[in-house]
Structure 1
Amino acid sequence: MEHKKKSCDSVWRQFSSFLKEKGYNLEQSTSPESLNTILKSWASNMKKKDDTDYKENVIKHMLNTTAKLVQEKYFNEWNIKINSFTDPCFKAARDVRVANRRKLQTLPEKRTVNSAALTENEFLNMVKILNENTPDGFQKKFFLIASFELAWCGGEGANCFTYYLKPEIENKGLITGRIEYNPVFSKTAQGGSKPLTSSKWLTKNKDNPNFCPVRLYHLLMMKRGNNINTDRMFLAPNPFWNKIQNAVWYKNSPVGVNEIGKWVKSLAIATGLDIKRRKNIKSFCALISGVCFG
């Protein structure tokens, strides 16, 4: 509890210094719209003393702590109930917070590292044991490689929808060969405004087509039969795919989030990895770049 109090005090001191520097005031008369502007500015300008970025997990902790402390201040001092995590008027501040964290997640040196990271050979060994000529192996292979390329964290991969990804097209209408990924894409409005969120990309691996995420993406889309009407990316394999002529590869039901979490652990065990030193082996991130299971 003492450590938590010191941490909260430290965050509040930094936030108070920010308010003073920017000329902001937290008063009873401060409107929710003005408070949203303050929190949005704080999320955008949070830096270390040497003007470098914090790591992604530090940003998450500081922003969440700030929001809770502001909420407590308004309630305790003025009996005003606010919730910047859910109130619609604070959506812009939440969007900036998410965008800032996503940006940092694309930088290897700023991603969260909870335990020993995988080596390149360990990652490659996990992919190599998967047979892409089977529905289960093929889907898991794409998942692992896409997780590395897109720096998926937590449940991002498990909750991916097909319309989050689309082939990139140049102004002249030519396909570039890259696949653009952005969770703000909607089913009916891909390629529209993408506020506060940067896209990520699947790019061709010309040196080793076997590990090419673009090739795997297009094949996976082709394997989605006419029986599929769900937009979830990862589907339950059809157990009769090789027992019935022209059988579909996948059922019209998504793989559960918990089940996808087991994929990584089972593959790690199958390749002989020491998972005891990776205690939080729940999801798959950008491993070669220094991000581990966490």
Structure 2
Amino acid sequence: MELRQLRHFIAVAEERHFGRAAQRLGMAQPPLSQQIRQLEDQLGVTLLERTTRRVDLTPAGQELLERGRAVLAEIATLEADVHRIGAGTTGVLRLGCCGAATYASMPRVLRGVAERLPGVALTVQGGMSDAAVESGLRERTLDLGLLHPPVATPGIEHRVVGRERLVVAVQQGSPLVSGRGLAVGDLREQVFVGHPEGSPLQRAVDELCRGGGFQPRVAQSTPEISVMLSLVAAGQGVAVLPEQVRALRLDGVAYEDLADVAHVELVLAWRGEDRSAVLRSVLELVVELAEQW
């Protein structure tokens, strides 16, 4: 049985009239009648009881009508799903976000995808170190990542989607809290809660302090932003972080701008060999959204 034959039979069965069915299908009546007879011959059953005035369904014809409708509906759904996958408007992607990007950039991406690409499901991992995001891409546990460069793994492509100012997290009630901002030199005598040694953010902090004429005294380091802020709230030191961290409010922590403006880049990274349409759709959307951040 061909799908064309099934569609033609359903038209006749629904219209109960060959002339109206032929008009609905945009074809002449004799070829339509011939196709229905061929279908009955192939199946070895009578599907329609024909009279001069109307057409009635046999029990076999009623069964074919009901199940044929279901078959055509399933095929229509399949065609639509295949089209959406090919167009990159449906699928599943795994997104990893570094530290502070978890609290501002990641929600923006999730909202944008939900609004613009509702057929795409994003599974997310947040609060990751830059190294962990890059490793996830390399090991294929992530499809897309937001992290701070450099990205050293061959085959991982990336694009800058933001430049974030650095801010200082200090204990609430500290003399450093003024609301007017701080100069790097104001941190000379402070103990720092640091990022992992050699990480992009710690290198940025080290460079910032060297520009102020001193080397930061790091009491303890952690890759987790929430832990860093908890240590700051406990009076264990100050922390220099990307400004997106302001979205994370914690009792006992205040944020001060740096008068000595310093930035870190935020990049969107993916495996260059991944040519899936859904990845390309999300990449294009995130780049567009980033222009508004």
TM-score, normalised with respect to structure 2:
0.22
Higher strand share: 2
Structure with the bigger RCO (C-alpha within 8 Å, sep 6+) is 2
- TM-score (normalizing by structure 1): 0.22
